[in-house]
Amino acid sequence: MSIQPVPAFEPPYLMAVFTSVRTEADGGYSETSARMTSLVKEIPGYLGHENAHTPGGLSITVGYFRDQDALDTWRNDMEHRAAQAKGIKEWYESYTLHVGTVERSSGFVREH
């Protein structure tokens, strides 16, 4: 299997956990999602992000950033803000955002 979790980085770094349940409104969502991915990757201090989505259920996206400046750049991005507004207007039934500082991280990759 080629998919891998984003690795553990050297603490401290920031993580933003966005958990959401979608409405049935789909218009423009996947295009906007792809655009957000390409935008966030350009931010200095962006470390990575990943998503898991239970069909018909919860979606969890986690973004990792080296420092507050990197996260603030992403928070203040105008296209990102427009996408957030569209999300509240149409795409999300509910969501929660938790932002914090990672103090400890570890990982495992099976050897074959």
Residues that bind a copy of itself (CB under 8 A): 1, 3-8, 11, 14-15, 17, 19-21, 23, 50-60, 62, 64, 88, 92-110
Paired strand residues for 21:
94
Measured from the CB atom, is 36 or 64 closer to a copy of itself?
A: 64
Measured from the CB atom, is 31 or 108 closer to a copy of itself?
A: 108
In the structure encoding, which two tokens stand for residue 34, read together? 């792809």
Task: Calculate helix-pair angle for 29-40, 78-86, nearest 10 degrees.
Answer: 150
Measured from the CB atom, is 39 or 47 closer to a copy of itself?
A: 47
Judge whether 80 and 74 are in contact, CB under 8 Å: yes
Minimum separation from the CB atom of position 62 to a copy of itself (A) = 6
Minimum separation from the CB atom of position 106 to a copy of itself (A) = 5
Minimum separation from the CB atom of position 39 to a copy of itself (A) = 21
From first CA to last CA, the distance across the chain in angstroms is: 12
Residue 59, helix vs strand vs coil: strand
Judge whether 103 and 13 are in contact, CB under 8 Å: no
Minimum separation from the CB atom of position 15 to a copy of itself (A) = 6
